[in-house]
Amino acid sequence: MEAKTVWMLAFESKPLVKIGGLGEVPPSISRELVKLGYKVYIAIPSHGIILKGKVKEVEEVEDVKIGLYRWGKVDFIVIGGGVLEDEEVYGPRLVDKVVAYARSIRNILDKISKLKIREPDIIHAHDWHSVLALVATKTYYEEKGSNDKKYVYQIHLTSNFTYTRELFEKAGISLDTVHKVLLPEGYAKITVEEVLKHSNGLADRLGALEADRLVTVSNAYLYDSVRGVKGVVGEELLFKARIVYNGTDWRYNRILASVFKNYGEKIREFTGKDKPSRSDMRRYLLLKVLGELGENEPIIPDPKAKEYIASIVRPPFKKDLKIDPFYEDGVLVLNTGRIATQKGVDILVEAIKIAIKRNGYLRFLLFELPVWSQREYIDELVKVAHNYPDNVRVVFGYAPSIYQFAHIAADIYVAPSRWEPFGITALEAMVTGNPVVASRVGGFTETILDIREHGVKGTGILVEPENPYELASYINDLARMVLAYEHPNPWMHIDRIEDYKLRRIVEENPKAIKRIRGSCIHRVESLFTWRNSAQQLDNVYRELF
């Protein structure tokens, strides 16, 4: 197959704009696709970056400003002007942005040669915000008489958003356009109007109808008929569906080396050891580093949320939302993510209260990205940190200076999501040697191997979703495994492991946790790399030509 050109349509993408997992996937896969011979462009809305001059405007068509940006061998088409410059990525003007984004795509396609960018062979849209843009592109080429382009729609997180006729019209898409659509019985020529009718405007179903291939991030999410793809798209379209797992570019040795580069001397000084162990690093993190966040950290993009949090926190928070270090070493349990109902941070808070009463060794470190609309969860997090200062620290926002250090020094990661299409954070946790206690939902069921079934080849424990008791129980069990490894008297801790299967594993090998850490690292590094993701995607693309 000759080198194809892919246009990724996405609403966010690192390194320019990243809010959640979505911003991670297109660029990471693209980078690897390039290595497989693809030419890749990622087209994203500006969200203010052109306006602020972070990316230079190279062309203006009507009211659309176009910027080009290069990130390694991946090219970005940044589309700005008007509402697209609104800094709040998913703010109240989101729908206007979605429409403007779709309309602007046509302007760009008109200017391809002037912009010296290559015409796409494959248009790969990510999530519901890009569906309108996908249809805009498809109808654009249909009107031009060239229908050899292929369309891929990828769902990272389903949505119940519904497109209306009005939005199509505003985006400049004629509903009468007849175009080629892949239906279960084969390709058919139908109007956009008919697709809108078939899908009831439901964005994900519409995207799935228009696309030649539907991609999502895990089997469990694909076949989940409640919140997953099947539930939104409908079973009859799943014949188009393919799985492309997400990945991570984190590598254990690289992270360890980088942490040692930054902190090695201090850790050695603090611990008095030439070769500090993982628990030495943890002790240093908990008792020192946590109290020394970088100058501008934590970074909270949402200014209202930041102001609100600053107004309610007391020690162990500092006024600038930095934190006091812990007072005593313990078993470090990590959680990271956006504050959202989906992420189950409220379930985690409940589990924390239960778990620490059973095991005073537990130290919870939570990196939580706050948004103003989720104040109730913010309150819960602040409260648990206030009430249990010996056991809980919450960092609101990003703290890049210690983020990877925290991972490499932690003992356990906890992922209490109510639903989770994939869950990249679990990969980051595992690749840094942390077994994951996760809800038995979505991608977790494929990325995590349950230790109860796989023994020391396992990489975590899958627990019943929304059950803080079970979550607490397994956090405690894994913590006891850590303590059995670290303490002079392992039996004191082995006896407190509640799950008999886990207890038996440690009875046979009190150092089981060390083997499990190895399994975590190995699993991710061998299976869940972006290179693997790109290969899976390459297979999908190849089916189309």
Residue 95 CB-density burial (10 A; 0-12 exposed, 13-18 middle, 19+ buried): middle
Is residue 450 within 8 Å of 474, Cβ to Cβ?
A: no
Smallest gap from residue 511 Cβ to another protein (A): 16
Q: Which two tokens stand for residue 390?
A: 């010996």
Ramachandran angles phi, psi of 524, nearest 5°? -70, -45
In whole angstroms, the minimum distance from the beta carbon of 360 to another protein comes to 4
Least Cβ distance, residue 314 to another protein (angstroms): 6
Is the distance from CB of 520 to CB of 433 less than 8 angstroms? yes
Burial 266-276 (b: 16+ CB within 10 A, else e): ebbebbeeeeb
Q: Which is nearer to another protein, 83 or 481 (CB)?
A: 481
Strand 122-126 relative to strand 5-9, pairing: parallel
Our measurement of the distance from residue 16's CA atom to the centroid of its chain's CA atoms, rounded to an integer in Å, reads: 16
| 144 Cβ contact list (under 8 Å, min separation 6) | none
Q: Which 3 state secondary structure label does DSSP give 288?
A: coil
CB of 291 to another protein, least distance (A): 11
Kindly state the smallest distance separating residue 370's Cβ from another protein, in Å: 21
Assigned token pair, 424: 């990249």
Nearest to another protein of 53, 488 (CB atom) = 488
Binding site for another protein (CB under 8 A): 314-316, 319, 324, 327-328, 330, 356-357, 359-361, 386-391, 486-489, 492, 495-496
Select 281 or 313, whichever has its Cβ closest to another protein.
313
The smaller minimum CB distance to another protein, of residues 76 and 361, is found at 361
Residues 6+ apart with CB under 8 A from 483: 331, 361, 490, 493
Q: How far is the CB of 481 from another protein (least distance, A)?
A: 16
Q: Whose Cβ is closer to another protein: residue 266's or residue 319's?
A: 319
**The two three-digit tokens of residue 329, written as one number:** 């070493």
For residues 388 and 398, which CB has a smaller minimum distance to another protein in the complex?
Answer: 388
253 versus 489: smaller Cβ distance to another protein: 489
> What's the CA gap between 65 and 338, in Å, rounded?
31
Q: What is the nearest approach in angstroms of another protein to the Cβ of residue 380?
A: 16
Comparison of 254 and 383: residue with beta carbon closer to another protein: 383
Q: Residue 258 has which token pair?
A: 């980088």
Q: Toward another protein, which CB reaches closer, 20 or 316?
A: 316
Q: Quick count: other Cβ atoms within 10 Å of Cβ 226?
A: 8
Residues β-bridged to residue 162: 202
Kindly state the smallest distance separating residue 339's Cβ from another protein, in Å: 23
Which residue's CB is nearer to another protein, number 205 or number 278?
278
Q: Contact, 202 vs 195, CB < 8 A?
A: no
CB of residue 486 vs another protein: minimum separation in angstroms? 8
Least distance to another protein, CB of residue 376, Å = 22
Q: How far is CA 110 from CA 61, 81, 102, 147, in A?
A: 9, 17, 13, 16
The answer to whether the beta carbons of residues 23 and 17 sit under 8 Å apart is yes
Report the alpha-carbon distance of residue 17 to residue 26 in Å, rounded: 12
Q: How far is CA 321 from CA 317, 385, 395, in A?
A: 6, 12, 7
Neighbour-count burial of 59, counting CB atoms closer than 10 A to its CB (0-12 exposed, 13-18 middle, 19+ buried): middle
Shortest Å distance, C-beta 489 to another protein: 8
Helices (H), 467-511: 468-486, 490-494, 500-508
| Cβ nearer to another protein, comparing 120 with 330 | 330
